[in-house]
Amino acid sequence: MTKIHIIGGPGSGKSYIAAKLSKMLGLPKHELDNFFWDYESDYFGSQTPPVKRAEKLARVISQDKWIIEGVYHSWIEESFHQADYIFVLKTNVYVRDLRILKRFILRKVKLVSSPRKENLKTLIALLKWNHQYDGNNLVQAIKMMKPYKDKVIILTKNDDVFKLFTKRKRKVG
C-alpha cells in the first residue's frame, strides 16, 4: 500500500511527478483540480459544492493506494493524515511562471487538451496568484502538516522524488 500526497504551487511539477510515479509504482492518480472546479458549468471558475468535493475526496482516500496532487490545503487534511508520503514542491517561482506560460500556450494551440476554459485574463490572475502562493497558501499548508511532519518531504528538485522510490525498489528487490 502506498498513498502519496503531492502539494506545490501552480507549475511546480505536481502533475508531472504524479503521472511518472503512477506509472512507476502502479498507483492511480487524482488531480484535486478535478474535485475543486466544476468543469461542467457554463461559467469559468465555478467551484464544485464543498459537500460534493468532500465526497469525491473521501472515495479516493478510502482506497488502499493513490496519488493525490494539488495546490489545496484547507479542505484536504484527511488526505495528509492518510498519506504515507507528503511531498511539498518548493520549485522556484520563475520556473513555475515559465511552466504556466508554456502550458497555457500548448493548450491554446491544442497540443495539450484541457477541460479548463482559460483566457489571457485568467492566465494573468494565475501568474499573480503563483507569486503569492509560497508566502500564503504554502505557509498555511505546512502549518497544517505539522502533525504529519514525519512523512513530509520538502523538495526543491523534483527529480529527487524518483530517486527515493528507485532506492526503495532496489532495497525491496
pLDDT digits (tens, 9 = 90+) for 71-89: 999 999 999 999 999 999 9
Predicted confidence band of residue 114 (pLDDT cuts 50, 70, 90): confident
CB 40 within 8 A of CB 115: no
173: pLDDT strictly greater than 60: no
pLDDT at position 168, please? 59
pLDDT of residue 167: 62
Q: Are 30 and 67 in contact (CB under 8 A)?
A: yes
Residues 126-161 have pLDDT tens digits of: 999 999 999 999 999 999 999 999 999 999 988 888
> What is the average per-residue pLDDT within 33-42?
86
Report, as an integer, the average pLDDT of 87-115. Answer: 91
Distance, in Å, from the CA atom of 35 to the CA atom of 49, rounded to the nearest integer, reads: 9
Over range 57-71, report the average pLDDT: 96
Give residue for cell 507549475.
11
Rounded to 5 degrees, what angle do the CA atoms 128, 87, 147 make?
Answer: 105
- State the pLDDT at residue 111: 83
**What are the beta bridge partners of residue 89?**
8, 155
Residue among 163, 31, 146, 11 at smallest CA distance from 80: 146
Question: How is residue 12 written as a grid cell?
Answer: 511546480
Proportion of the chain above pLDDT 70, given as a percent: 94
What's the pLDDT score for residue 46? 86
Residue 11: its pLDDT value, please? 95
Q: What is the pTM of this model?
A: 0.90
In this model, does residue 166 exceed pLDDT 80?
no
Quickly list H helices, the chain: 14-25, 33-36, 50-61, 77-82, 93-108, 120-133, 139-144, 160-172
Select from 3.30.2290.10, 3.40.50.620, 3.40.50.300, 1.20.1050.10 the CATH code of 3-159.
Answer: 3.40.50.300
